[in-house]
Structure 1
Amino acid sequence: MSEREPVIEGHCDSRFAAVREAFEENFRQRDELGAAVAVTVDGVTVADLWGGWADRGRTRAWERDTPVNVWSTSKGPTALCAHILADRGLLDLDAPVAAYWPEFAAAGKERVLVRHLLSHRAGLAGLREPHSFADLCDWETTTARLAATEPWWEPGTRSGYHALTYGHLVGEVVRRISGLLPGAFLAREVTGPLGVDFTIGLPEKDAGRVAELEHRRSPASDERAAAYGQLPPVALAALANPPVGAAEANTARWRAAEIPAANGHGTARAVAALYGVFAGRGTHDGRRILSPEAAERVREGQGSCRDLVLGAGLAHETEIGLGLWLSGPHGSYGPNPRAFGHDGFGGSCGLADPEAGVSLGYTMNRMGPHIADDPRKMALVEAVYSAL
């Protein structure tokens, strides 16, 4: 396998040949190292492709079952845990968070609602005090600090991307109700029954097959790093307290931790399956995970605005539903403005479009500089919709 001509494996229906072409083009023109893409339409897999290298040294080929850290694409499965509990009547999305997590009422947060956590409107995008990588990997330390801190803005009024705190906030509510951390809850309720290769964190037994992340420096990434110093305090708290990237995510400590906002590991096929629950209006592979009403609720828009954390890096307003981002007029998840999904730091993506019956999972290990809508992801999304 040469650097310029990686072997692309898997299958792709002839109708979706454009997806294969875009996937190959990502390697030729968009600096892909190793990656996979899976697309389902009405529950049928129409594309399942993988190729390239699973490590920076190009000594391991990306295989059919190669998992990788997908960063914030993990937020979709984490939100799914909360929606399952709400669907069962165990969680009221309009109840105060403190009804389930009493300590959370501190510092003026007694009126923060569960829906504010899901929609990044809780005002807790990051911690005000220094929070180390070790602290982030400690569930009790992180959740205790979140419970004690005050919001950065009036909860419910604006969105501000909760890049790392989202998973601990939603996840602690899941734990208080179910007795399980979200990783264990997801395994019991979804990934285990469906046979989906996705975990929060990474079991030690899978360390030999996981892809190694690489974040290559580029003019765009250097420019972005320089811009960090000009960010407002809330954005710095969300994106750099603590700073985490490929170096941290490749460690055993990161993989052993429970960081539901950012350390989900899985294959593209697994991401497509999990987002396929939303695309299938609550069902996947003949199994019902959510009621149709609960699946629809996930994309209930909470208001368009310039995000308080990501606003400087995005050229448009965005709208978040109850856990996932709406495609909107800018088409992040295809031409249907009510399609929805989530991007991961550096490029990965999960997409759900119930109207078209489409779900997509895209995973990769060479992280790009984009906050969202990485050109590799957008090329694949556009190719899918060109074939419908």
Structure 2
Amino acid sequence: MKFWSTNTSQVTDDLASVTDIADEANIELAGMTEKQKQNIWRAVEALYQTGNHPQVSLCLRRKGQIVFNRSIGFADGNGPEDQPFAEKRLAKTNTPVCLFSASKLVTAMLVHMLDEEGVINLLDPISYYIPEYAKHGKRHTTIFHLLSHRGGIPRVEGKIEPETLFDKQQILQLLYDAKPMSVSGSKLAYHAVTAGYILGEVLERVTQKPLTQLLQERISDPMGMRCFNYGLAPEFRGEVAKNYATGFFAKMGTDQYLHHVLGADLDTTVNITNDSRFMDTISPAANIYTSAEEIGRFFEMLLDGGRYQDKQILTPETVFRATLPTSGYVMDQSLLIPMRYALGPMLGGDPVGIFGPMTGQAFGHIGFSNILCWADPKRDISVSLLTTGKSVVGTHIPSLAKVLYQISKQCPRVERDQRRSLFGSDQEKSEKI
């Protein structure tokens, strides 16, 4: 039996030949220098050169200007187990990539949107909208609890077959019948998949619309998104980036941890996301497919107080409330590390956090594994880093840390009087208060 292995992709010396670059703004408009930009990109290239990620895509905006919109590597055909003579497909900046758990934040903002309109209330019990959910002591679990990962159902106990993920109604029934592992509100434990299905069902019941239609009408269409939705439409499947199991993984290490968090091992998790049936279904916590630029556009909208061009997608007050911390650092019983959460977003930290050093005001979300999307008001940046190698432990870790470090270092903080506020200008904020 093989207890551990390491998988990496082939990397060419000619990085320019595997790099796709879309329109990028004059760097001076972003308040940066060419040297600062090159320092960040060299760190991204070094991450790709570890071989842990067949594709790396980066979109970074500063002061509303696109500094990076690039992809490097291959969307398909250059994984660790692909033959050298296999047909390879270069990654493009518009290549759809599965966001995995970064999808959660989009779902959360749909919840906040309906709360803003008075259609739902975050303090209402889930059972008010889904009576079937009231079983086994879950009657008082609120929307607030699920958004903040304190709902008491971080996973479903027992053996769950992978095919279950392709049947939403079966998953919902399992969650209705589930006994909570802790009293709602009492323990912080990352809900990797479970809360998303319940929140999605709430959204569908109160709007009487499929979640895909709701997202399309309320966010994707108003923001001019080409491919930004749960699952993946057939017309985009010839472009989609394939996910690969990479890095070091041990049967009693990485796989055990992933079973604890996700309920499945590395190979199973990766294979599910490459399955067309996963692209056919709606998994509110895990299966939005889009490009780095489009999810970056979404975070830029949040950074700009819910505004995109001439459209107000969310009110500034809603974005402000959604990104407020629900607590300080607390040990997450699922991820087994200290975490800070808002009502949907994961939060950065000082002196270091999940989005790099000195990111205490940053908000965003990570996705399995090494997908990071965030906005940092202090630096006036929105960032999306999408990767297709599902390394948990591997040679990429120092390089990934360096990418985050370089972004924080090369995008200096903006003076308060020059910084965009989630409420608009300081004068507008004082008027609203």
Report the equivalent of 1:339: 362
Query: Does 1:221 pair with 2:249?
Result: yes
Deviations 1:91-113 (A, max 9, x none): 21111111111111111111111
Query: Does 1:40 pair with 2:23?
Result: no
Query: Does 1:255 pair with 2:279?
Result: yes
1:25 to 13, 31, 46: 46
Contact 2:40 2:403 in 1 (8 A): yes
| CA deviation after TM superposition for structure 1 residue 114, in Å | 0.6
Contact 1:131 1:242 in 2 (8 A): no
Contact 2:349 2:360 in 1 (8 A): yes
Q: Which amino acid aligns with 1:278?
A: L
Percent identity between the aligned chains?
Answer: 24
Q: Which amino acid aligns with 1:285?
A: Q
TM-score, normalising length from structure 1? 0.90
Report the Cα distance in structure 2 between the residues aligned to 1:296 and 1:272, rounded to whole angstroms.
Answer: 18
Q: How does 1:110-129 map to 2 (within 5 A)?
A: 110-129=139-158
Q: Which amino acid aligns with 2:302?
A: F
- How well do the aligned residues superpose, as a CA RMSD in angstroms? 2.4
2:378 to 338, 355, 358: 355
Q: How does 1:270-309 map to 2 (within 5 A)?
A: 270-303=294-327, 304-309=329-334
| CA deviation after TM superposition for structure 1 residue 208, in Å | 0.3
2:217 to 188, 211, 220: 188
**SS at structure 1 position matched to 2:361:** coil
Higher Rg of the two aligned structures: 2
Q: How does 1:79-98 map to 2 (within 5 A)?
A: 79-98=108-127
Deviations 1:110-160 (A, max 9, x none): 111111111111011111243222222211111122122121111112211
| CA deviation after TM superposition for structure 1 residue 8, in Å | 2.1
Deviations 1:167-217 (A, max 9, x none): 20211111121122333211110011112232211111111000111112x
**SS at structure 2 position matched to 1:53:** strand
Contact 2:195 2:285 in 1 (8 A): yes
| CA deviation after TM superposition for structure 1 residue 374, in Å | 5.5
Q: How many residues align?
A: 376
Contact 1:74 1:263 in 2 (8 A): yes
Report the equivalent of 1:239: 262
Report the Cα distance in structure 2 between the residues aligned to 1:35 and 1:228, rounded to whole angstroms.
Answer: 22
Q: How does 1:115-154 map to 2 (within 5 A)?
A: 115-154=144-183
Q: 5+ unaligned residues in a row in structure 2: which ranges?
A: 1-9, 28-33, 79-86, 412-433
66-75 or 178-187, larger mean C-alpha shift? 178-187
**SS at structure 2 position matched to 1:355:** coil
Report the equivalent of 1:328: 349
Residues 1:342 and 1:357: Cα distance change in structure 2 (over 3 Å): same
Report the Cα distance in structure 2 between the residues aligned to 1:186 and 1:285, rounded to whole angstroms.
Answer: 18
Contact 1:35 1:362 in 2 (8 A): yes
Contact 2:94 2:292 in 1 (8 A): no
Q: 5+ unaligned residues in a row in structure 1: which ranges?
A: none
Q: Which amino acid aligns with 2:13?
A: R
| CA deviation after TM superposition for structure 1 residue 376, in Å | 5.1
Structure 1 stretches of 4+ moved >6 Å: 228-231
| CA deviation after TM superposition for structure 1 residue 300, in Å | 2.1
Deviations 1:256-307 (A, max 9, x none): 1111211111111011112222222212234211111110112222223111
